[in-house]
Chain A
Amino acid sequence: MPHGYNGKILHVDLTTGALRVEEPPERFYRRYFGGSALGLYYLLKNTPPETDPLGPENTLVLALSVLTGTAISGQSRMTAVAKSPLTRVVGDSQCGGFWPAELKFAGFDAIVVKGRAERPVYLWVHDGEAELREGDHLWGKVTGEAEAIIRDELGDRRVQVLQCGPAGEKVVRFAALINMCNRANGRTGMGAVMGSKNLRAVAVRGKARPAVADEAALKALARWGADHVDESDVAGLALLGTSEIVSYQNEAGGLPTHNWSSGVFEGYEAISGERMSDTILKERDTCYGCAVRCKRVVEVTEGAYQVDPLYGGPEYETLAALGAYCGVANLAAVAKANEICNAYGVDTISCGGTIAWAMECFEEGMITAQDTGGIELRFGNAEAMVRMTEMIARREGFGDVLAEGSARAARVIGRGSEDFLTTVKNEEAPAHMPQVKRSLALIYAVNPFGADHQSHEHDDAYDPEEGYLQEMAELGLLDPRPARVLDAEKVRYAFYTQCVYGALDTLNLCQFVYGPAWQLYGLDQMVEVVRAVTGWKVSLWELVKAGERRLNMLRAFNAREGIGRESDVLPRKFFKPLKGGPTDGVAVGKTEVQQALDTYYAIAGWDVARGIPTRAKLEELGIAWVADDLGL
């Protein structure tokens, strides 16, 4: 009997309304484990090249892993994959919360959605069954309202709801999937894909806990984690959330400010974790089974920016993107914009990145008040930032232009505005600066779904003085390098940890709870968790190889679209010197990046000139079918 997984994949054809259950063999789960890799399996099999991301032929996969729904911290996560309407290549995004565990309890390991419904619908999955239900009455409603309506209709307040919001309905290109009104598959526009299919929500409920091979071992591991949070390197994360790093980033000269023109923000204290804790924080929240409790719940009941606790509180990325990027030193305003993004279903990073780009253009006269409908879109204008967030979410006025993302908007506006972009593959960069942590220059360039900060271990962990050197030694990384160096050893470090993070996103494990450095559980414990749940005698090697497999499947999808090295390009801005603070005058170097790319493709076993996987590498990873698909 399967341990950890249900052995059931739900296939939904929205065009015909047909639902079908597939029961893959054990070997399928052993090879792909779940999450991103499992999702990519179906994406590659079902979606031909050059598919319109917003058309019925695109496939949206919502994938759990063999660990989801077990009683231990950091496992309740889901990966969404599809062709991205923002990047036009592969899209991939994770979420946490309670929905992932509940889908496992409802009897399925993944949902594969194709086609487009004629009228809005929602999918109801419960206790091994599934049905499509009318969704007209949900269309246009913010996430809080839609969730309440669905729970009421189904007569169960404990139904978990994953949905696109009104922004997804309007196919804002960076629309997110939202669950429990405050958790997001934020990046790459997965919400727009769901909205384009007229699928408004997936409601799940079930009572069947996954079978666990060694209950005692899992319980011991779970207890160890819960007992050690307060002594571990995630103790601060537990208390202050990801917002704990705002002050650090600023002091390091790595808090992107004024559309990445500087790494220091004068107003950083106003949007710091300490300030949030002292003012608007109402309580901490957590995901199913997790002892860390890193989520923020905030409330503002007075003043211009009132915030409903239902929509959660801002994470670091949000504080940076809607705060520092835009020069906004107003915590309530940032929390309000976060609320709007969660209510409408918008990625806070791309939203802030796009608004900040527009602000710089406005400051330089490339966009005027005539374009914006009278809004003074200047750095520091909190009201303009909040207003524009809402206009983007509703595709109103100038928001309709910005809802295309900054890269497309720049092509429309022209006038030299492309010089101010901070995008890779059309996706806005998250708030970790390659000027400070130089391996990000490589990973932002090569990551198949755009600039991503959660795809490898950042440079500080390999710093000669303050790194996690004992942990790095476990991966055979014995030659630490300062953060601003990008040489062959740093590339090696980036590739190895990228494969580890690929394993995390395939096992759908929270990267704050499991990982190769400061995380609560180390990699040996991760192996023990997989063994305890599945009963398989996995090794770390096998799991890291699974991560490498996932990376190659992502890269192969892009290669099928004709995308390779020529798209691994950083924005021009990153090569210009920053202004002020510890990173005054610092820039990424063009030569070091090209050399790093050469080294990286070679290490990865790819064609160096084209930047795509070779047949040999795909065969080595046990996915020769992908090489066949690519015509290699």
Chain B
Amino acid sequence: MHSVEVIPVGTLKRRLGGHELLLVEPGQSVRELLAALGVRSRSVVVIVNGSGVTKSYVLEAGDRVRLLPLIGGG
């Protein structure tokens, strides 16, 4: 497995063209990935292989990344 699986959830899936799954190259940071996808970095919770990561996390081959929207209040 050479790529990174990116799964946008909820409204993010809607905004990224309705795709269930995107395959991207490893080696970029989460921040760079979000910029490339045109998603505002702060508006997303990023879960890699089941754990929350910061935006500076560098994606590795085989990573499974879920992009989750944030709730509006709380």
Contact = CB atoms under 8 A, between A and B. Distances in A.
28 contacts: A231-B13, A232-B10, A233-B9, A234-B71, A235-B69, A236-B9, A239-B68, A240-B52, A242-B71, A244-B45, A244-B52, A244-B68, A245-B71, A248-B43, A274-B52, A274-B53, A274-B54, A277-B52, A278-B52, A453-B74, A454-B73, A457-B72, A466-B40, A468-B11, A512-B74, A517-B72, A518-B10, A518-B11
Contacts of B21: none
Contacts of B71: 233-234, 236-237, 242, 244-245, 512, 518-519
A376 interface: no
Contacts of B73: 432, 453-454, 457-458, 511
Interface in B18-66: 40-43, 45, 47, 51-54, 66
Interface of A: 230-237, 239-240, 242, 244-245, 247-248, 251-252, 269, 273-274, 277-278, 315-317, 432, 453-454, 457-458, 460-461, 466, 468, 511-512, 517-519
A252 B70 CA distance: 13
Given A242-B71, A244-B45, 20 more contacts: A231-B9, A232-B9, A233-B10, A233-B71, A234-B71, A236-B68, A236-B71, A237-B74, A239-B45, A239-B52, A251-B41, A274-B53, A317-B74, A453-B73, A453-B74, A458-B72, A468-B11, A512-B74, A517-B72, A518-B70
A519 B70 CA distance: 10
Of A245, A269, A453, the most chain B CB neighbours within 10 A belong to A245
A230 B53 CA distance: 18
Contacts of B53: 274
A519 B71 CA distance: 8
A103 B73 CA distance: 28
Interface of B: 9-11, 13, 40-43, 45, 47, 51-54, 66, 68-74
Contacts of A518: 10-11, 69-72
Contact of A245 (B51, B54, B66, B74): B74
The SS class assigned to the A binding surface is: helix
A247 B30 CA distance: 14
Contacts of A453: 73-74
Given A247-B42, A251-B42, A236 B54 contact: no
A461 B70 CA distance: 11
A240 B70 CA distance: 10
Of B45, B53, B72, B73, the most chain A CB neighbours within 10 A belong to B73
Given A231-B9, A248-B70, A457-B72, A240 B45 contact: yes
Of B40, B54, B68, the most chain A CB neighbours within 10 A belong to B68
Nearest to A275: B52
A315 B74 CA distance: 8
B64 to A, nearest CB: 13
A89 to B, nearest CB: 23
Contacts of B72: 457-458, 460-461, 517-518
Contacts of B10: 231-235, 518
A84 B51 CA distance: 42
Given A236-B68, A248-B42, A458-B73, A230 B9 contact: yes
Of A277, A432, A453, A518, the most chain B CB neighbours within 10 A belong to A518
Contacts of A454: 73
A247 B43 CA distance: 9
A437 to B, nearest CB: 9
B40 to A, nearest CB: 6
Contact of B51 (A248, A278, A512): A278
A38 B71 CA distance: 28
The 6 A-B residue pairs with the shortest CB-CB distance in the complex, in nearest-first order: A236-B68, A251-B42, A242-B74, A274-B52, A233-B10, A236-B45
A242 B42 CA distance: 15
A233 B11 contact: yes
Nearest to A230: B9
Contact of A244 (B41, B54, B70): B70
A323 to B, nearest CB: 14
Nearest to A459: B72
B15 to A, nearest CB: 8
Contacts of A432: 73
B24 to A, nearest CB: 20
B68 A235 contact: yes
Given A248-B42, A248-B70, A518-B72, A235 B51 contact: no
B35 to A, nearest CB: 14
Contacts of A252: 42
A16 to B, nearest CB: 42
B29 to A, nearest CB: 15
Contacts of A512: 71, 74
B10 to A, nearest CB: 4
Contacts of A468: 11
Nearest to B40: A466
A318 to B, nearest CB: 11
Contacts of B41: 251
Of B9, B54, B71, the most chain A CB neighbours within 10 A belong to B71
A492 B58 CA distance: 43
Nearest to B13: A231
B8 to A, nearest CB: 10
A46 to B, nearest CB: 32
A242 B40 CA distance: 19
Contacts of B54: 247, 269, 274
A278 B43 CA distance: 21
Nearest to B12: A233
A244 B45 CA distance: 7
A384 to B, nearest CB: 27
Contacts of A244: 45, 52, 68, 70-71
Contacts of A240: 45, 52
A614 to B, nearest CB: 30
Contacts of A231: 9-10, 13
A274 B52 CA distance: 5
A269 B9 CA distance: 24
B44 to A, nearest CB: 8
Nearest to B74: A242
A454 B54 CA distance: 27
A256 to B, nearest CB: 14
A240 B46 CA distance: 11
Contacts of B69: 233, 235-236, 518
A466 B72 CA distance: 11
